[in-house]
Structures are given as C-alpha cells and as structure tokens.
Amino acid sequence: MEDRDKQSSLGRRTVLMAGAAALTAGCAGESTPRTVSAKAQPALDARNWASVRAQFSLTSSYAHFAAFMLAAHPAPVREAIAQYRDVLDSRPQDYGIGFYDLQRSDDSRKAIAGYIGVRPQEVALTDSTTMGLGLVYGGLRFKAGDEVVTTEHDFYSLHEALRLRAERDGVVVRKVRLYENPATASTEEIVRRLVRRITPRTRVLALTWVHSSTGVKLPMREISQAVKEINDRRDRGRRVLVVVDGVHGFAAENATMSDLGADVFITATHKWLFGPRGTGFVWAGADVWPMLQPTIPSFSRQAWTGTPGPLADLNTPGGYHSFENRWALPQAIAFHETIGKATVAERIRSQATQLKDGLAKLPNVRLVTPRSPELSAGVVCCAVNGMEPDAVVQQLLVKHGISAGSTPYRESFVRFGPSIVTSPDEVERAIKAMASLR
C-alpha cells in the first residue's frame, strides 16, 4: 500500500456498507430501521494510508506514537457509537427491555470470534484487559497446593490480580525472570527459563504476549509447544494452562488463537484495534471454560432462566454497560479487516523496524526492545543517556511534535508505538528528534 494518495487498482474498498448493514440489522423493535448516513463519514480508501489516517480526528499538530495506549475511534466507530447513543438517549425502548443487549452484544461476539478464528460461544465480553485479568485469575478453580508461574515482566493488573488471589486462598505464585537484557533475549533462553520453573504443582502459566515494560514479544508458539510436551506426560486434570494477556499483540500481530496455542486469551479491543473505549474480551476453549468460576453475575439468558448455554456467557459480567461502545465493536473489526489484518501487521512491523534501526545507530540512545520481529511487535522501548524518560517524552512533544510515552514500571523507558495512525515520515522525524536530545 502506498503512502501517497493513490487509487487502488481494485477500486475503493469502503467500510461504509459493512457499518451500515451491521447497524441496520441490529435495530430490532424499530419500525423504521436506522442506517449509517454515508455522507457523515469520509470515504475510506483502504489501500491508501493517508486515507486511513484521515478516518481519525487525531490532531495533526503532533505525531501519535502513544495512540495505541487508549484508542482514538476511526470514523465508522464514531458514527456507530453516535447512532446507538442517539437512540439510547431518545427512544431507549427501541432496543427492547429485559434481555436488553443480547442480540447486539452477540454481534460483537461474533465479530471478535471471526477475527481471532474461534467460535462465538467461546468468547466472554469484558470492558478492559484489567477486567479480564481480574475475572480469570480470580475465577480459576484451584486445588490446595496448586501453583501459578508468572514472570517479572508483566503489567501491574496481572500481578495485582494474582496477589489478590493468593491473599484470598493461598494459591502460590512464583515469578520468573525470562531475560536479563531484553535487547538480547532469545527464544531459547525464554522457553528454557520458563519451563525449568514448571513443577508438578504448576497449573497455570500467567504470561503477557508483548511486554509493555520492554517491548519483548514472547515466542508463544514455542512456549505452547513446550507446555504441550509437559502436558502430554500428565493426567488431563493436572495439566498446565497457558493464560495470556494479549493486549499489545492483539490487532498489532496477524495471528489467530490457534497460531498462539494458548488456553486463555485476555485482551482489550481499545488499543491496537482502535476499537471502542471500554471494550475487551476473554477467549477460552470449550474444554477450558469449566475451569473458570464466574465472579460477576451474568445477565445472559441462561443465568436468568437456567436454560443451558455456553459457559462464556456466564463469565460475561452482567449489569448495564456503555452499550453504544460495546455494540460498535463490529464496525471497529470491519474497519481493521477492510484494511487487512496482514497489511496492518506489516505496517506496524515495518515502522517498528525502521524506528529500531534508526535508534540503534544513535550514540545517545540505548535500544531496549529486541531488533528481531520474531521477539518484538509494535512496542519500541529505549533509554536516552543521562535523561529521565519523562523529560524525554516532554521534550519530544514540546520541541519536536512527537507524542511518545514512558513505561510505568520500576525501571522506566521511553516508549513508542508506531501504528496505523503514524507514518514512515513521522518515524524519521522521531529518530531525528531522539538524535538531538541532550
């Protein structure tokens, strides 16, 4: 795909129709179905990055290398949210009463399932990664003596969910360091350090696909394969589950659940997908859901009526949500799929590589994230000699019009996230800005 304004030979692919169809189909109870107005949205030429960027209202006064942290909404998502909000604010009965959200939430579930290559009934909807981590680590059914192996590199929410669980019922949590120096980490080292901490008592590996502390992407396939070999020698009831916080790989990498080989996948959809804020999900295979005890009462039909149904429904927290956001998830996924999963992943990968190659040449900068795309995704961490990360971030923004972030960990780094809202030209600008820092 070209950066310059270029009409695709295949013609314009737009997400307008996908969005309109989803909204129209979702309006049970309305005598006149509402549709998305084509006029309200700028047309998307999905083969042109400038056109993709134009779908966002993000200011052009700086480059957005921290946009992956909390999603800005592209036009089809903004439009869908506005439509749903208008109806909720004016004619809420149009969406029915009682099992208020079920049909549209099901559409969101189906869209997620199609995107990650699983069955919709295996997906529980949540509001964030943190909510998913709390539900899973709070809900896993452990027996006395069971242990969890996690790592030193994960986000606060994962460690805190495990700490609360350990405090509640004494589950033993062991932390392993997977690499001494992230820049030189290797698949062999990571798998070896992890596997040697697995004991007959280990029931869960609590991992993070892409470490927001360092940018290291775990070799999930190799880890899952190593765990499978251990599990092949165990009774099924004592197998080790691989549970993954996938938030910085989801929609940044072109992968399905079977590519990863994990048993449970927890993510938000409000980061690299640029999905509606306050949305996320937990996926587990049908054979794994029985190992999870629901924490928050479900509003599913089966919870109310006792009719049998998928356990993922019982693990989807009930209560009324910000439905206009949840229901706009199909538009976010349609937007992403219209551009193409592989195309998005390649865009992120090529800019991250360009950025790392540039930073690695700077005498004043230490690159923290591995150069190899095998062990990294879109998160790029680095340090500037003699400068605190927050001071770097401040200077980048104020003097150079570059928005980056600093990592909220004991050892903090400067962090960039090239994505579909940044460009190779902006990456060049970021490298030059980093070179000038003193």
Ligand X SMILES: Cc1ncc(COP(=O)(O)O)c(C=O)c1O
Nearer to ligand X, 206 or 241 (CB): 206
Q: If binding is defined by CB under 6 A, does position 247 make contact with ligand X? A: yes
Nearer to ligand X, 104 or 248 (CB): 248
Nearer to ligand X, 36 or 136 (CB): 136
DSSP string, 348-414: HHHHHHHHHHHHHT-TTEEE-S-SSGGGB-S-EEEEETT--HHHHHHHHHHHH-EE-EE--SSS--E
CA dihedral angle for residue 187, residue 191, residue 192, residue 195, rounded to 10 degrees? 180
Nearer to ligand X, 73 or 248 (CB): 248
Give CA–CA dist 280/403, Å, rounded: 25
Nearer to ligand X, 129 or 316 (CB): 129
Please, what is the end-to-end C-alpha distance for the chain in angstroms?
37
Q: If binding is defined by CB under 6 A, does position 171 make contact with ligand X? A: no
Instruction: Identify which of 153, 65, 67 has the alpha carbon closest to the alpha carbon of residue 393.
Output: 65
Q: Give, for 202, the enclosing helix (H) or strand (E).
A: strand 202-208
Q: Which stretch binds ligand X (CB under 6 A): 105-113, 114-122, 245-253, 314-322?
A: 245-253
Nearer to ligand X, 203 or 248 (CB): 248
Q: Which amino acid is at 290?
A: P
Draw the binding track, 147-166, toward ligand X (x: CB under 6 A; -: no contact): --------x-x---------
**CB of residue 250 to ligand X, shortest distance in Å:** 10
Give CA–CA dist 245/59, Å, rounded: 30
Q: Give the C-alpha distances (Å, rounded to integers) separating 395 from 187, 254, 422, 427.
A: 35, 34, 19, 16
Draw the binding track, 209-228, toward ligand X (x: CB under 6 A; -: no contact): ---x----------------
Q: If binding is defined by CB under 6 A, does position 248 make contact with ligand X? A: yes
Nearer to ligand X, 80 or 247 (CB): 247
Is residue 103 exposed (0-12), middle (13-18) or buried (19+ Cβ within 10 Å)? Answer: middle
**CB of residue 196 to ligand X, shortest distance in Å:** 24
Nearer to ligand X, 27 or 251 (CB): 251
SS3 call for 179: coil
Q: If binding is defined by CB under 6 A, does position 130 make contact with ligand X? A: yes
Nearer to ligand X, 245 or 324 (CB): 245
Q: If binding is defined by CB under 6 A, does position 239 make contact with ligand X? A: no
Compute and round to an integer the Cα radius of gyration of the chain.
22
**CB of residue 280 to ligand X, shortest distance in Å:** 6
Q: Which of 268, 332, 396, 414 binds ligand X (CB under 6 A)?
A: 268
Nearer to ligand X, 294 or 405 (CB): 405
Give CA–CA dist 438/434, Å, rounded: 9
Q: What are residue 280's DSSP bridge partners?
A: 126, 268
Q: If binding is defined by CB under 6 A, does position 253 make contact with ligand X? A: no
Nearer to ligand X, 14 or 214 (CB): 214
Are 151 and 207 spatial neighbours (Cβ–Cβ below 8 Å)? yes
Tell me the helices (H) and strands (E) count for the chain, helix number first.
Answer: 16, 13
Q: Which stretch binds ligand X (CB under 6 A): 128-136, 226-234, 350-358, 395-403?
A: 128-136
DSSP H stretches of helix in 26-150: 49-54, 75-90, 102-116, 129-139
Nearer to ligand X, 14 or 212 (CB): 212
Q: Which of 51, 55, 83, 129 binds ligand X (CB under 6 A)?
A: 129
**Which residues between 349 and 408 bind ligand X (CB under 6 A)?**
none
**CB of residue 398 to ligand X, shortest distance in Å:** 24
Number of residues that bind ligand X (CB under 6 A): 12
Are 245 and 281 spatial neighbours (Cβ–Cβ below 8 Å)? no
Handedness of CA 162, 168, 171, 173 (dihedral sign): positive
Q: Which stretch binds ligand X (CB under 6 A): 125-133, 220-228, 256-264, 305-313?
A: 125-133
Are 43 and 19 spatial neighbours (Cβ–Cβ below 8 Å)? no
Q: What are residue 367's DSSP bridge partners?
A: 382
Q: Which stretch binds ligand X (CB under 6 A): 141-149, 221-229, 241-249, 420-428?
A: 241-249
Q: Which of 151, 202, 208, 331 binds ligand X (CB under 6 A)?
A: 208
**CB of residue 132 to ligand X, shortest distance in Å:** 8
Q: Which stretch binds ligand X (CB under 6 A): 86-94, 143-151, 198-206, 244-252?
A: 244-252
Give CA–CA dist 248/267, Å, rounded: 8
Q: If binding is defined by CB under 6 A, does position 426 make contact with ligand X? A: no
Give CA–CA dist 168/203, Å, rounded: 17
Q: Which residues bind ligand X (CB under 6 A)?
A: 128-130, 155, 157, 208, 212, 245, 247-248, 268, 280
